[in-house]
Amino acid sequence: MSLFRPDYYVSNFENINIDRLKKRGIRLLLCDIDNTLVAFNDPESNEKVKRFLRKVEENGIHVALCSNAAPARAKRFARDLDVDKVYYLSFKPLSRNIKKAMKHYNVSPNQTALLGDQLMTDMLGGHLAGIYTILTAPIIEKDKWDTQINRFFEGFIYRHFEKKNILKKGEFDD
Ligand SMILES: [Mg+2]
């Protein structure tokens, strides 16, 4: 179960304390797109996301997108957000693309973080790759059909965490 447990839990990407990442020695932040940076059905990014990513980069941390989305959607966001590396069809929790990204930026697992909104893809994928994991509450409650299936199982994990006093949904670290 601890493979699903985030290292850092925030309500929104804007509330991420970048100093906290710097203190941990994070050099690369991989960001999920859907329901992490924008609503899953939102065709466009926005100024808030751009501002956040720029702020991360200004702090000396590389930013790349690591999404399970299809190429067209992922690439459009990368272009829009001026992010130079985008990994799509990542099939998280598989860690193949996370490893590719670490290689590209020449960073180790303990210098890498993954920001995402799902326990079963993002948190598990991050832990399997041995990197730091940041969980955000999803931007909107609605999800794509395949995510709805994950959310169903996610419910059990959240209840387990709550029972064991490990993590409570909605009780953020920020
Ligand atoms: Mg997502």
Average pLDDT score over residue span 127-155:
93
> Does residue 148 sit within a domain?
yes
> Does residue 21 sit within a domain?
yes
Contact 128, 91 (CB under 8 A): no
Q: Which domain holds residue 124?
A: 2-163
Indicate the number of domains in the chain.
Answer: 1
> Does residue 130 sit within a domain?
yes
> Does residue 174 sit within a domain?
no
What CATH number is associated with residue 87? 3.40.50.1000
Ligand 1 centroid–CA 159 distance in Å is: 20
> Does residue 16 sit within a domain?
yes
> Does residue 172 sit within a domain?
no
pLDDT of residue 19: 97
Percent of the chain with pLDDT over 70: 100
Nearest to 157 by CA among 8, 35, 1: 1
Q: Would the pLDDT of 60 be above 90?
A: yes
Length of the chain equals 174
Average pLDDT score over residue span 99-124:
98
Ligand 1 centroid–CA 160 distance in Å is: 21
Ligand 1 centroid–CA 143 distance in Å is: 9
Q: What is the pTM of this model?
A: 0.96
Question: With bands split at pLDDT 50, 70 and 90, how would you rate the model's confidence at 146?
Answer: confident
Ligand 1 centroid–CA 32 distance in Å is: 6
Q: Would the pLDDT of 106 be above 90?
A: yes
